[in-house]
Amino acid sequence: MFDVVAKILRYGAIIGLSIVIIGLIVENLTNQSTIAIIGLYSIISIPIISLLAISIQLLREREYLYSALSVLTIIVIITSILLSIMSK
């Protein structure tokens, strides 16, 4: 049922870390840190994407309250990101 969430967490961590490492190699060669930063963002997005998957699964199971709670958590995180960017 929640196997997708387990896969997102497992492979997401590996992919995110790989992007960071590739980014560091690119940074050494070209002085461009964009890929490494994308890697960092992909690592922090893993739990958030897994939360989205849980929310969809709970919606399918008609567990509206808990689906809403997971959406609420995502909203709190996104609001925080936007506020941090704006105050930068």
Partner 1 sequence: MEMLDFIALFAGALGVGFVSAIAGIGGGSLLVPFMVLLLGYDARVAIAASLLCVIITSSSAASEYIQKKMVDFKMALLLEPITTLGAIVGAHITLSLPTNYIEGVFGAMLLYVSITMLRKSLKETTAIHEEKNTSIDNILWKRKLAGLLVSFIAGLTSGMLGVGGGVLKVPILTLVMGVPIKVAVATSSFMIGLTAASGEVIYIVKGLTDPRIVAPLALGIIPGATLGARYLGKIKARYVRLVFSLLLLYASIRMLFSII
Binding-site member from 29, 52, 54, 62 for partner 1 (CB under 8 A): 54
Cα angle 30-21-38, degrees, rounded to a multiple of 5: 75
Nearest approach, Cβ of 10 to partner 1 (angstroms)?
4
CA end-to-end span of the chain: 41
What is the longest distance spanned by two Cα atoms in the chain? 51
String marking each residue 15-44 x if it binds partner 1 according to CB under 8 A: -xx--xx-xx--x-----x--xx-xxx-xx
Instruction: Compute CA distances 56 → 8, 71, 85, whole Å.
Output: 14, 10, 28
Nearest residue (CB) to partner 1, 21 versus 30: 21
Which residues of this chain interact with partner 1, rule CB under 8 A?
A: 2-3, 5-7, 9-10, 12-13, 16-17, 20-21, 23-24, 27, 33, 36-37, 39-41, 43-48, 50-51, 54, 58, 63, 66, 69-70, 72-73, 76-77, 80-81, 84-85, 88
